[in-house]
Amino acid sequence: MSEDKNSEYKIVDSNRLDVEVSWVCSDCARAALKLEINQGKRFFSIMTMHEDICDICKSRKSVAASRCFGRLKYRVPKNWK
Protein backbone atom coordinates (compact mmCIF):
# COMPACT_ATOMS: atom_id res chain seq x y z
CA MET A 1 0.00 0.00 0.00
CA SER A 2 1.43 3.36 -0.93
CA GLU A 3 1.70 6.13 1.60
CA ASP A 4 0.36 8.87 -0.65
CA LYS A 5 -0.65 11.63 1.73
CA ASN A 6 -3.13 13.04 -0.76
CA SER A 7 -5.16 9.85 -0.83
CA GLU A 8 -8.13 9.41 1.39
CA TYR A 9 -8.35 6.36 3.53
CA LYS A 10 -10.99 4.57 5.45
CA ILE A 11 -10.73 2.02 8.21
CA VAL A 12 -11.95 -1.52 7.71
CA ASP A 13 -12.64 -3.59 10.80
CA SER A 14 -11.88 -7.20 9.95
CA ASN A 15 -13.87 -8.28 13.00
CA ARG A 16 -17.15 -7.21 11.43
CA LEU A 17 -19.18 -9.92 9.77
CA ASP A 18 -20.27 -7.67 6.91
CA VAL A 19 -16.69 -7.00 5.89
CA GLU A 20 -15.06 -9.71 3.88
CA VAL A 21 -11.45 -9.79 4.94
CA SER A 22 -10.50 -13.42 4.80
CA TRP A 23 -6.83 -13.32 3.88
CA VAL A 24 -4.27 -10.75 4.83
CA CYS A 25 -0.58 -10.57 3.94
CA SER A 26 1.93 -9.94 6.69
CA ASP A 27 2.92 -6.57 5.15
CA CYS A 28 -0.63 -5.23 5.53
CA ALA A 29 -0.96 -6.73 8.99
CA ARG A 30 2.32 -5.20 10.12
CA ALA A 31 1.28 -1.80 8.76
CA ALA A 32 -2.10 -2.10 10.50
CA LEU A 33 -0.47 -3.03 13.77
CA LYS A 34 1.30 0.34 13.79
CA LEU A 35 -2.01 2.20 13.67
CA GLU A 36 -3.18 3.74 16.91
CA ILE A 37 -6.56 2.01 16.67
CA ASN A 38 -4.85 -1.36 16.93
CA GLN A 39 -2.89 -0.49 20.02
CA GLY A 40 -2.47 -3.42 22.35
CA LYS A 41 -3.23 -5.99 19.67
CA ARG A 42 -0.76 -8.56 18.59
CA PHE A 43 -0.40 -11.44 16.20
CA PHE A 44 -1.04 -15.01 17.18
CA SER A 45 2.28 -16.75 17.48
CA ILE A 46 1.22 -19.63 15.25
CA MET A 47 -0.22 -18.98 11.85
CA THR A 48 -0.42 -20.88 8.63
CA MET A 49 0.63 -18.94 5.58
CA HIS A 50 -0.23 -19.79 2.00
CA GLU A 51 -0.10 -17.92 -1.26
CA ASP A 52 -3.30 -16.13 -2.20
CA ILE A 53 -4.70 -12.69 -2.90
CA CYS A 54 -4.51 -10.37 0.09
CA ASP A 55 -7.96 -8.85 0.72
CA ILE A 56 -6.41 -5.55 1.79
CA CYS A 57 -3.79 -4.75 -0.85
CA LYS A 58 -5.17 -7.16 -3.50
CA SER A 59 -1.69 -8.46 -4.26
CA ARG A 60 -0.76 -12.10 -4.55
CA LYS A 61 1.40 -12.75 -1.53
CA SER A 62 1.89 -15.05 1.41
CA VAL A 63 -1.28 -14.59 3.41
CA ALA A 64 -2.88 -15.90 6.58
CA ALA A 65 -6.42 -15.77 7.93
CA SER A 66 -7.22 -12.33 9.32
CA ARG A 67 -7.98 -13.87 12.74
CA CYS A 68 -4.33 -14.97 12.90
CA PHE A 69 -3.39 -11.31 12.95
CA GLY A 70 -5.73 -10.62 15.83
CA ARG A 71 -8.68 -9.25 13.82
CA LEU A 72 -7.04 -5.90 13.23
CA LYS A 73 -8.54 -2.78 11.78
CA TYR A 74 -6.99 -1.98 8.42
CA ARG A 75 -6.48 1.31 6.67
CA VAL A 76 -7.53 1.00 3.05
CA PRO A 77 -8.06 3.46 0.20
CA LYS A 78 -11.47 5.05 0.21
CA ASN A 79 -12.44 3.27 -3.00
CA TRP A 80 -11.51 -0.12 -1.56
CA LYS A 81 -14.34 -2.58 -2.43
Question: Contact residues for Zn ion (CB under 5 A)?
Answer: 25, 28, 54, 56-57
Which residues make Cβ contacts (< 8 Å) with residue 60, sequence separation at least 6? 51, 52, 53, 54
Residue among 12 and 54 whose Cβ is closer to Zn ion = 54
Q: How far is residue 49's CA from residue 77's CA, in Å, rounded to a whole number?
A: 25
Q: What DSSP designation does 68 have?
A: G
Least distance from Zn ion to the Cβ atom of residue 13, Å: 16
Least distance from Zn ion to the Cβ atom of residue 68, Å: 13
Least distance from Zn ion to the Cβ atom of residue 19, Å: 15
